[in-house]
Amino acid sequence: MTFKTINKENHANLVWDSELIAKYDIAGPRYTSYPTALQFSDKFGEADYRRAATQRLDSIAPLSLYVHIPFCHDICYYCGCNKIVTSKKQKGREYIDYLAKEIALQSQLYSKSRKVTQLHWGGGTPTFLNNAEITQLMYLISSSFTLLDSNKREYSIEIDPRTINMETIPLLKGLGFNRISLGVQDFDPKVQKAVNRIQPLEQISRLTKQIRQHRFKSLSFDLIYGLPYQSLETMAKTLDQVIELSPDRISCYNYAHLPHRFKSQRAIDRMSLPPAELKLPMLEYITHRFVDAGYVFIGMDHFVKQEDDLATAQRNSTLQRNFQGYSTCLAPDLIGLGMSSISSMDSCFAQNTKNLEDYYQALDHNELPIEKGLLVTEEDKIRRAVIMQIICKLSLDYSLIENRYLINFKTHFSDSFERLTTMENDGLVQLNENNLKVTKMGRPMVRNICMAFDQHIASLMEGNTPYHSKTL
Ligand code: SF4
């Protein structure tokens, strides 16, 4: 397939080498955290979390909050999220009552002087809640935490275009949200039918206009490639339609068919999936098409407009990353609220139970519903700092890590350098005396470069069960 109107200037920071990309197309983490959630253990519990939070009691640093609303009206077959499909609207009411208990318990652990710079409502479907419930939940949060009344905040919410009520959009703006994320996936009717998510272009177009009218700071679209019946031709049409609607940010994920892990994926006919050998040409097309249209590829499946805060942050080396993806204003501590949500501090991760009854039962006993987690070792902290720098800055200054953690970088990471040497020979990285730089050719393979520093990856690669999606 040929690409139309390639703008060489836009492609200046990216070189696509299909053969190399195929060579590095293996399963690997997206590094929204390090260590990843696969390392969490049920040996970690509420007492560990409280102990870690107590050590942060005097902190006045900003906070991030994540709120998980697990309910969905209908099942999308590709879905790998923690969700509960139900038509019972009253479930939302009951859930908020329990969130109120959890908010009260969690907020006691942190100083009220800490400002919430980042807030994200995800799911499931946050807009499963009706307008009164959404308002009440925001009121509960704002009564227990100090929200930031400035344009510097990142307050975002995921919206299901099929069920959103048009009056909800101005309400969300009024409540302080400034970013909206829409699950678009694909515009092709046959693809939408095969994944049980029917949302015509006109519907998304109307919603996009409504969101623009209310002047949200940014609108993101989530797309997926590798879905049933997708081809280069159908993708090309969907991408044209997406570009026409002009979202500020686009994430384009590789569909990982893991029916042994996600029951709903068993409804997808394996034979309808695009052949494996088409995945890379699809990704190549997606990357070129968005870059041609003026978007900046900031890495890890994400494209943003040139003037977007994330593109500016990457240029200024201030880009950050956590469970919600890339950010410009991450706080050192993230509090996860709701079933299955993850809290993180420098020293630990804590994940709530994924079972709704267990979640309610713990809160009935005034306990935090933490099911598992991880105490982060000093070694994990060093490796996390390395991995996050590479992902966000696409370079790594060894002295930064040496000064912060009092190590000799090259000695400490001698194993990693053995793996990196192959990548250097392949042109993915430049290993200089004092720093590492991801090359233009290495940008699509940044996950692979990070994997060279991942101490836990070997144990996850053992056996044949794929825990991660392919890196590309
Ligand atoms: S993709 Fe979103 S809306 Fe669909 S089932 Fe999963 S969580 Fe629910």
Position 39 scores a pLDDT of: 92
Q: Does the pLDDT value for residue 118 go beyond 70? A: yes
Q: Which run of H or of E encompasses 446?
A: helix 446-451
Q: Classify residue 406 by its DSSP letter.
A: T
With the most atoms of ligand 1 within 8 angstroms of its CB, the residue from 68, 71, 76 to mutate is 76
Answer whether 211's CB lies under 8 Å from 180's CB.
yes
With the most atoms of ligand 1 within 8 angstroms of its CB, the residue from 73, 85, 125 to mutate is 125
Q: Does the pLDDT value for residue 407 go beyond 60? A: yes
Locus of tokens 């933490």 = 370
5 — pLDDT class (breaks 50, 70, 90):
very low
Q: Does the pLDDT value for residue 168 go beyond 90? A: yes
pLDDT tens column, 172-184: 999 999 999 999 9
Encoding tokens for residue 209? 């206009």
| Helix (H/G/I), strand (E/B), else coil: 439 | coil
Ligand 1 centre to CA of 73 (Å) is 9
Among 327, 333, 325, residue whose Cα is nearest residue 64? 333
Q: Which residue has the least CA distance to atom 1 on ligand 1?
A: 79
Answer whether 345's CB lies under 8 Å from 330's CB.
no
User: Domains of the chain by range and CATH?
Assistant: 8-35+378-472 (1.10.10.920), 36-334 (3.20.20.70)
CA distance 420 to 436: 10
Note the helical H segments in 108-257: 131-144, 168-175, 189-194, 201-213, 232-245
Position 27 scores a pLDDT of: 74
79 lines ligand 1 (CB under 6 A): yes
pLDDT tens column, 237-291: 999 999 999 999 999 998 989 999 899 999 999 999 998 888 888 988 999 899 9
Q: Does the pLDDT value for residue 138 go beyond 60? A: yes
